[in-house]
Amino acid sequence: MIESDGLLLHITEDEKFIDYVIDVFESVYPNRNVYFVALKENEEELKLVHSQNPNIVKGKIDSDEFKDLIKSINRFKGVIIHNLITEFKQEVILDARPDVYFHWMAWGADLYSIPVLSRNVIMAETQKFLNSCRSYKERLAGEMYNNYPAVFNLLYPFFYAEKSPLLIRMKCYRKIRSVSTVTPIEYSYVKKYISNKIKYLPFKYITIDQFYSENEADVCTDNNFLIGNSATYENNHIDTFLLLQRCNLEDKLLYCPLSYGDKKYRDFVVSKGNEIFGKKFVPLTEFLPLKDYNTFLLTCGNLIMNNIRQQGMGNVIMSLWKGARVFINEKSPIYLYMKEEGVLLYKMSDLENMSILPDFETLAKHNRPILENLYNRKRVLNETSDLIKHILNSKIA
């Protein structure tokens, strides 16, 4: 049994962000964190978490290691839940005593899965594919979510299913004391649609020093395209493809990251990409290490993120740093946040004017100081330190 007096417990999955999380928390609160990393189904070893921190506890969610941690949960000063969408984390929150302090690191799906925020984030052509995969009952529910007033969307799950996932999450939200969102704008969604009693504590899953290279003058070298970040419907790939058909692409390649997400949707995107663009379309179905991905991004001078909900923030920041022209759906919180901070980026409609947009060096020169200010390591560590101090000093009423 790990001594947990004064420790923080992190509960997460085997994801690519977690090595970074461990590095940041250990930098400001060393040897006082325990990280439970849930093994994925049918896997016995971690695939994406490579840290050798001795306080990593890996195991299946039905393992003795996990059960032992949960039995001792009341001894931790706080429990940090990374991504609330998975059921086993929700069960931990619901089963815990009222005096356990829970902090929620919101990733995206866990926030945008509530109906009032999930409405109208899938565009027309992508929605056609989604509808073709659904049963009549599921399509009817989807139409209700899209067409009825927002208040109905909040109430509908209470009548639709006795054990609605939304109902369960709503119960969890009542036990959450604080939250970190990817953009500050998303905290306004938490206050408006979940609870105005949850405190906002900033945490960033990225620092700009991750993108430094030996040659700090490195900017994009080619006008190839990077489209989206995953095989998820919210990327609206098909709507993006049809928009690109109207643009002069010349001989440029269209790279499409599809290494994770829905397999059936991935296969559909690959099929449509090949059909529309032929050999110009290059699906990326294997995960690339960060160093290799950074190098690869230098060949992609155009990033397209046609997401209406927040998604792919890491891709956006990496590409902006390298001077890429970044095109984002103007309804996205990322677009709104970056514009508010003075970052130079573009709406989807600007794709038709690519030839008159600034070059890579000009964009990098403008955007790098802003990104450095927002995501420099010192600022991230200070914000993390403040987050930890708040948890440690909080008193449960």
Domain limits, the chain: 8-113+161-203+378-393, 121-160, 208-374
pLDDT at 144: 43
pLDDT at 287: 82
pLDDT at 292: 84
pLDDT at 140: 43
Helix (H) or strand (E) holding 36: strand 33-38
Tokens representing residue 109 in the block = 């799906």
Per CATH, 8-113+161-203+378-393 and 208-374 having the same topology is answered yes
Residue 1 burial class via C-beta count within 10 angstroms: exposed 0-12, middle 13-18, buried 19 and up: exposed
pLDDT at 304: 97
Judge contact between 349 and 325, C-beta under 8 A.
no
CATH number of 208-374: 3.40.50.2000
**Strand, coil or helix: what is 174?**
coil
**Which residue in this structure is represented by tokens 């890996």?**
58
Written as one string, the DSSP assignment of 2-13 is ---TT-EEEEEE
pLDDT at 162: 52
pLDDT at 163: 64
**Which residue in this structure is represented by tokens 């609160």?**
29
The domain made up of 8-113+161-203+378-393 has a fold known as Rossmann fold (3.40.50)
- pLDDT block averages, 10 residues each, the chain of length 397: 69 93 96 94 88 94 90 93 92 93 94 84 88 57 47 51 72 94 95 94 91 70 94 94 90 93 92 95 88 87 95 93 96 96 96 91 96 96 96 79
Does the predicted model carry a pTM greater than 0.85?
yes
pLDDT at 78: 95
CA distances from 55 to 3, 4, 113, 223, 331 (A): 10, 11, 32, 44, 41
